Chains A and B, each alone.
Chain A
Amino acid sequence: METIGAVDVWIQPHTKECAGRWSAEMAHVLKLFGRETTLAGISIEEMVAEMDQAGIEKAVMSALMDPKGHIVTNEFVAEVINKYPGRFIGQFAYDPRTGMKAVRELENFVREFNFGGLKIEPFIFHTPPNDKVYYPLYAKCCELEIPVTIQVGHTAPLLPSATGKPIYLDEVALDFPELKIVAGHIGWPWTEEMISIAWKHPNVYIDTSAHTPKHYPPAFVHFLKTFGQDKSLFATDWPLLPFSRPMQEIDSLGLSRSIKRKFLRENALKVFPFRE
């Protein structure tokens, strides 16, 4: 079997210290996925070994927030990616309601610490992604030529889901046509809505984080195999999913070799500014 060297576009570090900061409302999602045991923490070395074993060559690693603040700080992500040059891209997460502070921090992390993306989980701020609080950040992403990843679909942590409706991204894509938008988590239960947005806008993509291939919604599988083959990006949302299981299940989708390469690797390398 050909080795593809997969790129996972949604992970976050989960060391003992990070795991200790997961609040009950956020940790609910680990319970749903049968992954509470990870709350003991997984070292960076173990994580990397797990990636190696599963055949994941590179990953986009983000900071993580809950409504009270950072679970994983941008500073910590910077520290980790610095130890593995070329393997990770750092992704910035910050409260957009802090205005210019968030904008300046984003620019700083991109210019000084090789970050290559912005991550937004709108439910954390109870604010849909077409809200004005995000607009200065989107503008900065355009200037820095980095993509933004925005969570779509229902919210598995114990927080409201309505901010995850994919249709909100339509307006963002219209206002910032040059901005690459990666919609993370497929968008279920609004999968068709998400697909319509990704089909309409040249720079909108869908990543499969938090979904295992056996449970991808059928509409998404069709999208991936046909008109969305250049728009679909593989992702796990590790530690939510282990790296191995989704990788093992990929072949159950019956993808052609060329589509599998696009999905696991090539599309991600087009969207995210990995350095060799």
Chain B
Amino acid sequence: MSAAITADHLTIRFGSFTAVQDVSFQVNKAEIFGFLGPNGSGKTTIIKALCGLLQPTEGTGTILGMDIRSDAPAIKRRVGYMSQKFGLYEDLTVEENIDFYAGVYGLRGSDAANRKREVTELTGVGGYLNRRAGQLSGGWKQRLALSCAIIHSPEVMFLDEPTAGIDPVARRALWDLLFRLSGQGITFFVTTHYMDEAERCGRLGYIYMSRLIALGTVAELQKLPDANPPGTTRVQIETLNPSEVLDEVRKVEGVREATIFGHEIHALVQTDQMHNLAQHFPDTKVELIQPSLEDIFVTLTYKLGAAK
């Protein structure tokens, strides 16, 4: 059995509010699974349910084959968690933070010392062991948080927006680390708002209004019929002053959506009206493109909004 995480028709209600509605998915071992969705769409609630912190109202799930409804204590020992708040004690030193989490997971003596050496070498925080956690920069705090979160050698990691507010260099460094760890067989469940991060994930789920509305690899999502409505074409228009051109593009007959990407405008156009675009912008380069992840999620979100 190769699934590290399964969710089986998970529904979680708080009183009359439905936070998670009938969500099912699987994450394979050593996979990096990206979980996307706006704030308040239910991402964190699903993580809490999968870690056994709250009981689902309906449905169930497993972590490493253990039932999330009944095996919460055993699950906690084999799962790591890191959130955007990092969960560090800023008045304690780097080493004291690591020692604390090692102790909390029951590591003792030489086991704890060996594991601490491994982890600090991997994340590179070994050079700062006596520095107070509060004095570290955001990127280093994040590495320390990861060190603490993996101290007990978890097989499954939940990362809840781990890179919110971190500079791009540190973000890339973190992702390099995640790939190394996943190469060692650790499964990652990562929530994020960043599309470039989402594209690094093996598979993705997109949750909107408490429902999982898309699931698959980037390539699979790009081929989704919902992301490419029949009779439409996705194009990229190069321009030097995109903000002015955007308004013009939006006025062209047959353009359904248009948005700016740097010096380009991405537009979803009815295929039979493509000639209008060519007429309006005779000197501009118009290319056919694959939808980006953002294009896909925006289109899906609009479609769901229109259905409401």
A and B: partners? no
